[in-house]
Amino acid sequence: MEEEKNIEPARNASHSDAGGEKLKEEVDEIEKKVGVKKDIKKFFKKAEKKESKEEEYLLGWRRCMADFENYKKRQQESAQNIGGYIREDMILQIIPVIDNFHSATEHIPEEQKNVPWVVGVMYIQKQLEDVLKENGVTEMDVKVGDEFDPNLHEAISDSKLRNASESTNENRELKNKIKKIVLKGYKLGPARNASHSDAGGEKVIRAARVIVE
């Protein structure tokens, strides 16, 4: 009887140990699975944060590129404006020189037009006129008898008409017609070598100075 009693606890002890080990294995298995899931969550959280940072950097880079493009456009517009002012200023300085050439060459007698020095003067005049053409300058088509247009013409007083009006003390009825052209007028358009985007409309760079009757 004593032997059977001694055997029973041993069997019971063995059975409980086997069950405990199995339970421990299951717990370890669960912990491992739970641990993997936690690691996966951490991994995705890190990935989301990294992706968010990359998107933020990308947006910042795009903003910088947009600002840079706007800056380049402003610089180009500024350069074009400055170039336009310089070109216009140069033209306004050349036009009076052309006026002097015209005044000088208009009164050359026909028989002297083939004299070498006259030919040289005429050649210089043509060179200056070509410079104006290259820079988009065209001479305005103004003729005696045309209707006076304040947008294209600048009226100057005629001393003969004024004196006649003062002597007769009468109000002269104006015809608003061009009686005489004192100085030629010029328009400024795009230069010949200007790109299509730089091409703009013509504008009066100097109004024709005329006497109106």
Average pLDDT over residues 181-196: 81
Q: Are 139 and 184 in contact (CB under 8 A)?
A: yes
pLDDT band at 184 (very low <50, low <70, confident <90, very high): very high
Decide the pairing of beta strands 203-206 and 137-139. Answer: unpaired
DSSP code of residue 140: -
Q: Are 139 and 133 in contact (CB under 8 A)?
A: no
Q: What's the pLDDT score for residue 1? A: 43
Decide the pairing of beta strands 137-139 and 178-183. Answer: unpaired
The residues that bridge with 188 in the sheet, in sequence order, are 137, 203
CB burial class (10 A; 0-12, 13-18, 19+) of residue 99? middle
Burial 174-204 (b: 16+ CB within 10 A, else e): eeeebeebebbbbbbbebeebeeeeeeeeee
pTM given for the model = 0.55
Chain segment 65-96, per-residue pLDDT in tens:
888 788 778 877 777 767 677 888 888 999 99
Amino acid at 50: K
pLDDT band at 174 (very low <50, low <70, confident <90, very high): low
pLDDT band at 57 (very low <50, low <70, confident <90, very high): confident
Chain segment 103-151, per-residue pLDDT in tens:
888 888 888 888 898 889 889 999 999 999 988 999 999 999 899 999 9
Question: Rounded distance, CA 126 to CA 118, Å?
Answer: 12
Domain boundaries, the chain: 137-213
